[in-house]
């Protein structure tokens, strides 16, 4: 049993990690930290998990975590993980960081998007970008996993095959993402107030969304060319689920069957990617992955204009956060990739 700590356990990502780890047969959760709720039962904040954990939230302590844990999942805000990761690695723990702090390889790009010099540029290279469909090999034995952002995951999984196989010579893409409210985390704000958020169709960070940096990094790697991604998220009223509609103009029409084959080839053997095409539900829809770690990937071509849209639908808390983190962790340890993640999507939900 891998002794596991969740740092920042009172947020939505922390709660989702606990939900997964509670059914993970190779893992024992030994510590869950929360500054605000130290000493309180986990179910106080996560009433869904009532009866699942006997331990309480505790304060973070490097000594204690060193004693009690083999691996640490960090569900902390961006900029906060920075301060924890080096110390945790130093005392020999494996770290799965769900923040953006170690996702980018190039410190100058980090600075561009996050506004500060990265204090640990060496660790950027050591970190493995935890998108198992792209970095499965690198993840084996990884000590520091930088788990991708939700909108980046959706965008990358939608575009990766198109970039890999050169569907178009124009490597500038708009990823129009539709985003559910749990993406914003557990902290209330004016914009997340129910009467304000419900029925909204609200663009945000529409003049530069940070997840573009990750997406460009990963897709450029795949395409071996400089790929540019403009991600433009729209807040809508679902609670879970993100949908990337990544639009591109083709140089010439493609056969739909050809596109399908390339998708299938790209994702062959990837347990958590399903190619969706045709039938009653011809395109991906986050509705059908809710509660699971699946990414459903598909496409629509308007042949008249040679516009191709690649779709990718995920549960933002699963494949977009906690589920993917556990998937990467499983690979890093040589476990079955879907250990703890055999949770079929709910329907209807």
For residues 245 and 157, is the Cβ–Cβ distance under 8 A? Answer: no
Distance in Å, CB of 262 to a second copy, minimum = 18
Task: Specify the residue, 63 or 207, whose C-beta has the smaller distance to a second copy.
Answer: 207
72: DSSP letter: E
Q: Cβ distance 306 to 334 under 8 Å? A: no
Residues 298, 266: Cα–Cα separation, whole Å: 12
Given 17, 29, 123, 150, the catalytic residue = 150
206-235: which residues touch a second copy (CB under 8 A)?
A: 206-208, 228, 230, 232, 234
Taking CB under 8 A as the binding criterion, the range among 56-64, 157-165, 180-188, 319-327 that sits at the site for a second copy is 180-188
- Say whether 279 sits in a helix, a strand or coil: coil
Q: Which residue among 141, 188, 251, 258 contacts a second copy (CB under 8 A)?
A: 188
| 108 touches a second copy (CB under 8 A) | no
Task: Look up residue 144 and give its two tokens.
Answer: 């520091």
Q: Is 296 a catalytic residue?
A: no
CA-to-CA distance for 191 and 18, rounded, in angstroms?
27
For the bound state, the minimum distance from the C-beta of residue 279 to a second copy, rounded and expressed in Å, comes to 5
126 touching a second copy, by CB under 8 A = no
Among 290, 295, 297, 322, binds a second copy (CB under 8 A): 290
- CB of 126 vs a second copy, minimal distance in Å: 28
Question: Among 59-67, 140-148, 169-177, 325-333, which window interacts with a second copy (CB under 8 A)?
Answer: 169-177
Closest by CA to 14, choosing from 99, 107, 102, is 99
Q: Does residue 301 bind a second copy (CB under 8 A)?
A: yes
Residue of the chain from 63, 92, 252, 280 that contacts a second copy (CB under 8 A): 280
Question: With binding defined as CB under 8 A, does residue 245 bind a second copy?
Answer: yes
Q: What residues does 202 pair with on adjacent strands?
A: 235
Residue 37 among known ligand-binding residues: no
Cα atoms in the Cβ-side hemisphere of radius 13 Å centred on 252 = 2
Minimum distance between the CB of residue 89 and a second copy, rounded to whole angstroms? 30
Contact (CB, 8 A) for 128 and 138: yes
- Asked whether residue 316 is marked as a ligand-binding residue, the answer is yes
The two tokens of residue 57 are 């939230």
Closest CA to 1 of 341, 335, 338: 335
| Dihedral sign of CA atoms 22, 27, 30, 33 in order | negative
SS3 32: strand
CB contact at 8 A, 145 and 97? yes
Contact 349, 44 (CB under 8 A): no
CB of 61 to a second copy, least distance (A): 25
Complex with a second copy: residue 160 or 229, whichever CB lies closer: 229
Kindly identify the residues of this chain, within the stretch 17-56, that bind a second copy according to CB under 8 A: 19, 22-23, 44-52
Closest C-alpha to 267, from 344, 338, 166, 161: 161
| Selected range binding a second copy among 77-85, 89-97, 272-280, 330-338, rule: CB under 8 A | 272-280
Instruction: Report the residue from 13, 217, 238, 330 that binds a second copy according to the rule CB under 8 A.
Output: 238
Segment contacting a second copy by CB under 8 A, of 67-75, 124-132, 141-149, 179-187: 179-187
Residue 257 within binding range of a second copy, rule CB under 8 A: no
Given a contact cutoff of 8 angstroms between Cβ atoms, the answer to whether 344 and 23 are in contact is: no
13 is in an annotated binding site: yes
- b/e for 261-273, b at 16 or more Cβ within 10 A? ebbeebbeebbbb
Active site residues: 150
Annotated binding site for NADP(+): 10-13, 316
Annotated binding site: 10-13, 316
């Amino acid at each position: 049993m891998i002794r596991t700590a969740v740092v920042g356990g009172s947020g939505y990502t922390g709660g989702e990690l606990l939900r997964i780890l509670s059914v993970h047969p190779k893992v024992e959760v030994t510590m869950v930290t929360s500054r605000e709720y130290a000493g309180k039962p986990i179910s106080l904040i996560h009433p869904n998990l009532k009866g699942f954990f006997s331990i309480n939230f505790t304060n973070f302590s490097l000594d204690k975590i060193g004693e009690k844990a083999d691996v640490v999942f960090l569900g902390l805000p961006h900029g906060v993980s920075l301060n924890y990761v080096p110390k945790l690695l130093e005392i020999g723990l494996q770290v799965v960081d769900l923040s953006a702090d170690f996702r980018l390889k190039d410190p100058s790009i980090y600075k561009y998007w996050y506004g500060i010099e990265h204090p640990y540029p060496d660790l950027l290279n050591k970190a493995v970008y935890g998108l198992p469909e792209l970095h499965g090999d690198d993840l084996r034995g990884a000590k520091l996993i930088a788990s991708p952002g939700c909108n980046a995951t959706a965008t990358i999984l939608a575009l990766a095959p198109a970039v890999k196989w050169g569907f178009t010579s124009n490597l500038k893409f708009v990823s129009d993402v539709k985003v559910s409210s749990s993406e914003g985390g557990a902290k209330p704000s004016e914009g997340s107030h129910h009467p304000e958020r419900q029925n909204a169709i609200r663009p945000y960070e529409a003049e530069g969304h940070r997840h573009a940096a990750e997406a460009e990094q990963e897709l450029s790697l795949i395409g071996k060319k400089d790929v540019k991604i403009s991600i433009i998220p729209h807040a809508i009223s679902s609670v879970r689920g993100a949908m990337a509609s990544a639009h591109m103009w083709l140089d010439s029409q493609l056969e739909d069957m050809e596109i399908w084959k390339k998708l299938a080839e790209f994702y062959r053997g990837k347990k958590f990617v399903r190619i969706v095409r045709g039938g009653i539900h011809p395109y991906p829809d986050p509705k059908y992955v809710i509660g699971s770690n699946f990414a459903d990937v598909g496409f629509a071509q308007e042949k008249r204009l040679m516009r191709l849209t690649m779709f990718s639908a995920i549960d933002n808390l699963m494949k977009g956060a906690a589920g993917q983190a556990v998937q990467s962790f499983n690979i890093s340890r040589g476990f079955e990739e879907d250990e703890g993640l055999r949770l079929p999507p709910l329907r209807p939900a």
